[in-house]
Amino acid sequence: MKFDNLAFVAARQAPAQKALKRLKSLYPHVPPRDADVIVALGGDGYALRTLHRFMKRGVPIFGMNRGSVGFLMNGYQEQDLLERLAAAQPIILHPLHMTAIDLDGKRHRALAINEVSLLRETRLAAKLRVSVDKVVRLEEMICDGVLVATPAGSTAYNLSVHGPIIPLGTELLALTPISVFRPRRWRGALLPHNASVTFEVLDPEDRRVSATADNTEVRGVARVVVREELNLAPTLLFDPEHNLEERVLKEQFQP
């Protein structure tokens, strides 16, 4: 790949801002609106925010880790950036589209690169009815919450609640409960990527539930529908030796 117009963006933390200043002094750059590739400096949270910010433009994102985890980032290196970009491998992601209807009947829409999660808001466990493609699969689930994760997000929150790691390109979604009480032995499901998942909150006034799509939260929801958004395809760029597909595969063999 060849890119002519680079833009640099960075998280507000000091390491990212220091890297931003340094890279701008080393390489010609343009404002993000004029760029054909954007170099993002920060951690995974900032990578997600950058993907959301430029998703509709379709400009690829090359992240360099100046944050904590950096699973979605490449290693930070100031030299040979143009050569790295030329050799980078693209990973195309399809976000999830969340439609949440709150207790007042208001409809909220948001996109998620990693996952859409439902969580109880009070001391009372959530009671949820779960349908897949309009077929009820769980009449009542009592739990702290539940999430739907993309392959790219399967190693994030999904993994921390013992959900499956999904290799990229498998066209699957993970449906994973969070601290499920009933049905006691249900541990989740793998769904086709084009499935539509509906969560109905039972007794939503007393057992309040929030819904979150990445960094967008809606509180007091009554019904949430999650599906893959095929019309959007944000792209992350990775050094060949740090390809995201290899990272997702490697994560499955961690002790």
Residue 255: pLDDT over 70: no
In DSSP notation, 206-228 reads TS-EEEEETTEEE-SEEEEEEEE
Tokens 């976000």, located at residue: 95
pTM of the model: 0.84
pLDDT at 44: 87
Euclidean distance between CA atoms 95 and 227, whole angstroms: 9
133 belongs to the catalytic site: no
Q: Are 39 and 7 in contact (CB under 8 A)?
A: yes
Where does 6-93+233-251 sit in CATH, by number? 3.40.50.10330
- Phi-psi domain of 70 (left: phi exceeds 0; alpha: psi -120 through 50; beta: other): left
Residue 243 has pLDDT above 70, yes or no: no
CATH architecture type of domain 96-228: Sandwich (2.60)
Looking at residue 172, its pLDDT comes to: 94
- Give the whole-angstrom CA distance, residue 222 versus residue 224: 7
Q: What is the pLDDT of residue 152?
A: 87
The alpha carbon of 230 is separated from its chain's Cα centroid by a whole number of angstroms, namely 15
Over the chain, what is the mean pLDDT?
A: 92
Structure confidence at residue 168 (pLDDT): 75
255, with CB counted inside 10 A (0-12, 13-18, 19+), is exposed
How sure is the predictor about 105, in pLDDT bands with cuts at 50, 70 and 90?
Answer: very high
pLDDT in tens, 3-27: 889 999 999 999 999 999 999 999 9
Q: How many CB atoms lie within 10 A of CB 219?
A: 14
Provide the residue ranges of all domains of the chain, joining segments of one domain with +: 6-93+233-251, 96-228
Asked which of 101-115, 125-139, 201-215, 229-243 is least confident by mean pLDDT, the reply is 229-243
Whole-number Å distance between alpha carbons of 76 and 91:
19
- Are 247 and 192 in contact by the 8 Å Cβ rule? The answer is no
Establish whether the linkage from the previous residue to 183 is cis, with ω within 30° of 0.
yes
3-state helix, strand, coil in the chain (%, to 5): 20, 40, 40
Q: Is-contact 117 212, C-beta < 8 A?
A: yes
User: How does pLDDT run across 186-216, given as a tens digit for each residue?
Assistant: 999 999 999 999 999 999 999 999 999 998 9
Q: Say whether pLDDT at 223 is over 90.
A: yes
Least confident interval from 11-15, 137-141, 150-154: 150-154
In the block, residue with structure tokens 């996952």: 115
Q: What percent of the chain has pLDDT over 90?
A: 76
User: Which residue among the candidates 44, 144, 203, 239 is catalytic per the annotation?
Assistant: 44
Work out the average pLDDT over 56-63.
Answer: 92
At residue 253, the pLDDT reads: 73
**pLDDT of 67 strictly over 90:** no
Flag whether pLDDT at 50 surpasses 70. Answer: yes
